[in-house]
Structure 1
């Protein structure tokens, strides 16, 4: 059985994946791109043009996690 993310969202080519661990959440950020054969891949390397979407994803992830934490108290 595969571990499923708690939540996942995307802005442009940047995706934030939120994972629930035992007592905390963690977040992975990835950027999608097409390789030379036209196949979709993902990377954790970002261009200047991706940085605003990363910051927005980080803010949304923080808000989502804060809501989960507040709802469970």
Structure 2
């Protein structure tokens, strides 16, 4: 049974969330980021979407900048000294 991969880190600003993932290729590991927006549906259940309203864009930009900074710090902390 396959295990579901979990993100290395989450950043949440308001209803916008960035999830940072570590992937691997033949060239080695690399990081990716996905973004989602939480909202309540008509039945008052929480859902996640991937489209953004105008008032979500500032939070999306802030999440992207924080994700970029976190990824830079993570890469620096995992570099091996030769």
Do they superpose with TM above 0.5?
A: yes
Structure 1 runs (4+) deviating above 3 angstroms are: none
Instruction: Compute the RMSD of aligned alpha carbons.
Output: 0.7
Larger gyration radius, structure 1 or structure 2: 2
How many residues are paired up? 73
Shift of the alpha carbon at 1:15?
Answer: 0.6
The residue aligned with 1:67 is 73
Q: Distance in 1 between matches of 2:77 and 2:17?
A: 24
Equivalent residue in structure 1 for 2:61, among 35, 55, 58:
55
TM-score, structure 1 length as denominator?
0.95
Q: Give the unaligned 5+ runs of structure 1.
A: none
Q: Give the unaligned 5+ runs of structure 2.
A: none
